[in-house]
């Protein structure tokens, strides 16, 4: 599979790999997928996390394998040699997940992704960030692999910054769809003295920016993956707007990598940082208007 199929950035579209774990239809952003391979022998690790199946040797790299079938409490009737591994890269980490089968790739708008209701999703337990309806009226659940990964390795979870100064009175606009992450980011910047305006998607953030004076806003921090309007589209709209284009924009996302940084550059982002480096984010924002990043 090619890692990048969407060649244009900032058009508010994405592609997802749709796959099955047991009888569940699940999805992941193509930008997070390195490749899909046939299942390989897994070496078990003593005392590993219950949701880690073991490790594989893939082209000279040792890759941990998550037992998605077990963690989602599903049954898979397919024999081991007929299953597939999806190799994933997020938060500067590489890992594989075992799946029953891969259905294909679907291109869609971020507006097509519905936010799951709190009635069906427990924020602390359910690793689902969105729901997509297919043409066949099937429902595809978009998995929160960042949460799955952080549950296995807490060091990869976002933690409040230790920086306590440097942004006194500066107003920041933050766009982030995760209620947990927006809380951590808000507390980190507030502790450093900033005033934070919080939004759950790019469209809400852009609407706010268009109503205020550009001199009020010190910096915009945005996730990339958000419903309604993603961070790349938000950045493109800011940088193509004569009134807003001078406001620095920092992309803060789990999918930023050396291979994908060109997407942020193509829409005019001033800086890009991979989650969960919150201290690096706060330090960069403190200096964003002092030097070119």
Tens-binned pLDDT, residue by residue, of the chain (293 aa): 334 444 577 899 999 999 999 888 999 999 999 999 998 899 999 988 888 999 999 999 999 999 887 777 777 777 777 889 999 999 888 999 999 999 999 999 999 998 877 666 555 555 788 899 988 889 999 988 888 888 888 777 778 888 888 999 999 999 998 888 899 999 999 999 999 999 999 999 999 999 999 899 999 999 999 999 999 999 999 999 999 999 999 999 999 887 778 999 999 999 999 988 899 999 999 999 875 44
pLDDT given for residue 3 in this prediction: 40
Q: Please report the pLDDT score of residue 128 as a whole number.
A: 83
pLDDT score recorded for residue 45: 92
Q: What is the pLDDT of residue 86?
A: 96
For residue 37, how far is the Cα from the chain centroid? 23
Strand partners, 36: 86
pLDDT of residue 118: 67
- Predicted local confidence at residue 5, as pLDDT: 47
Are 250 and 176 in contact, with CB atoms under 8 Å apart?
Answer: no
pLDDT, residue 80, reads: 76
Q: Where in the chain is the domain with CATH 3.40.50.2300?
A: 158-287
Task: Quote the pLDDT of residue 121.
Answer: 57
Say how many residues make up the chain. 293
The structural architecture, per CATH, of the domain 13-154 is Beta Barrel (2.40)
The pLDDT value given to residue 38: 93
Assigned superfamily of 158-287: Response regulator (3.40.50.2300)
């Amino acid at each position: 599979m090619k890692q990048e199929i969407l060649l244009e950035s900032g058009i508010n579209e994405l592609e997802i790999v749709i796959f099955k774990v047991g009888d569940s239809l699940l999805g992941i952003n193509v930008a997070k997928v390195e490749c899909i391979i046939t299942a390989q022998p897994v070496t078990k690790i003593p005392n590993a996390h219950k949701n880690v199946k073991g490790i594989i040797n893939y082209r000279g790299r040792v890759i941990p394998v998550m037992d998605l079938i077990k963690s989602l409490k599903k049954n898979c009737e397919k024999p081991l040699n007929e299953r597939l591994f999806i190799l994933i890269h997020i938060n500067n980490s590489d890992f594989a997940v075992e799946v029953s089968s891969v259905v294909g790739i679907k291109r869609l708008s971020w507006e097509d992704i519905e936010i799951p209701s709190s009635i069906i999703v427990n924020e602390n337990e359910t690793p689902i960030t969105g729901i997509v309806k297919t043409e066949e009226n099937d429902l595809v659940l978009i998995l929160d692999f960042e949460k799955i990964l952080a549950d296995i390795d807490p060091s990869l979870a976002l933690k409040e910054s230790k920086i306590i100064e440097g942004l006194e009175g500066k107003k920041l606009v933050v766009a982030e769809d995760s209620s947990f992450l927006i809380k951590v980011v808000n507390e980190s910047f507030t502790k450093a003295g900033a005033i934070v305006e919080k939004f759950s998607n790019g469209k809400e953030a852009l609407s706010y920016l268009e109503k205020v004076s550009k001199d009020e806003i010190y910096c915009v921090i945005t996730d990339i993956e958000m419903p309604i309007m993603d961070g790349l589209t938000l950045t493109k709209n800011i940088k193509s707007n004569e009134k807003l284009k001078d406001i620095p924009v920092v992309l803060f996302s789990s999918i930023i990598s050396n291979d994908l940084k060109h997407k942020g550059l193509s829409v005019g982002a001033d800086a890009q940082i991979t989650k969960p480096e919150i201290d690096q984010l706060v330090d960069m924002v403190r200096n964003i208007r002092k030097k070119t990043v």
